[in-house]
Structures are given as structure tokens and as C-alpha cells.
């Protein structure tokens, strides 16, 4: 198996340790693809209140216009991102 930054032995150790982790608890799973993508991007080292406000803004103002990846891509293409 090829893993760019890990030897096969280290990768197998990692997989073994991960298998021992307990299942997630609570309502972590987000079924909305774009919301999940937004949460992943915004949640990277930002304060919780910033993440919550960004997600609430998306839900109130943008969810209907960007319900899926294709719509998000069109929006980003229009903005030159």
C-alpha cells in the first residue's frame, strides 16, 4: 500500500489504533453536503461562535440557492473563485 507520508508499517499501526476508537456520540453527522463542506472549512481553528454564526447565515440566506455541489460550483465560477 502507498501512503505518501507514512510507511506501510506506520499506516497499519494508525489503522489499528483508529479501529479501537469508540463510535461518535451525539449529532455530529451533517446530511447536507454543502453545509458539511462549509462547516469543515470554517471550523478549522476558528472560535465556536464564528462557526455557529457562519452556519446560521448559510441556512438563512444561501441554502436555497446552493443546495448541492453543482450549485456551489456555479456560484464560485461566477465569482471567479
- pTM of the entire predicted model: 0.54
**Residue 11 CB neighbours (<10 A):** 14
User: Residue 54 is part of which domain span?
Assistant: 26-78
Say yes or no to pLDDT of 81 above 70. Answer: no
Per-residue buried b or exposed e for 19-50, using 16+ beta carbons within 10 Å of the residue's own CB: eeeeeeeeeeeeeeebbeebbeebeeeeeeee
Q: Is residue 2 part of a domain?
A: no
Question: Does the structure show a pLDDT above 60 at 5?
Answer: yes
Instruction: Please indicate, yes or no, if residue 34 is contained in any of the structural domains.
Output: yes
In a domain, 53, yes or no: yes
Q: Is the pLDDT of residue 2 over 60?
A: no
In a domain, 20, yes or no: no
Cell of 20: 479501537
**pLDDT tens per residue, range 39-77:** 888 888 889 899 889 989 999 998 888 888 898 888 888
Does residue 35 lie within any of the structural domains?
Answer: yes
Cell numbers standing for residue 15: 489503522
Amino acid at each position: 500500500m502507498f501512503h505518501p507520508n507514512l510507511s506501510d508499517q506506520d499506516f497499519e499501526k494508525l489503522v489499528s489504533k483508529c479501529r479501537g476508537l469508540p463510535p461518535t456520540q451525539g449529532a455530529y453527522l451533517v446530511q447536507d453536503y454543502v453545509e458539511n463542506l462549509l462547516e469543515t472549512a470554517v471550523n478549522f481553528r476558528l472560535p465556536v461562535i464564528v462557526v455557529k454564526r457562519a452556519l446560521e447565515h448559510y441556512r438563512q440566506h444561501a441554502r436555497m440557492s446552493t443546495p448541492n455541489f453543482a450549485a456551489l460550483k456555479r456560484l464560485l465560477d461566477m465569482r471567479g473563485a
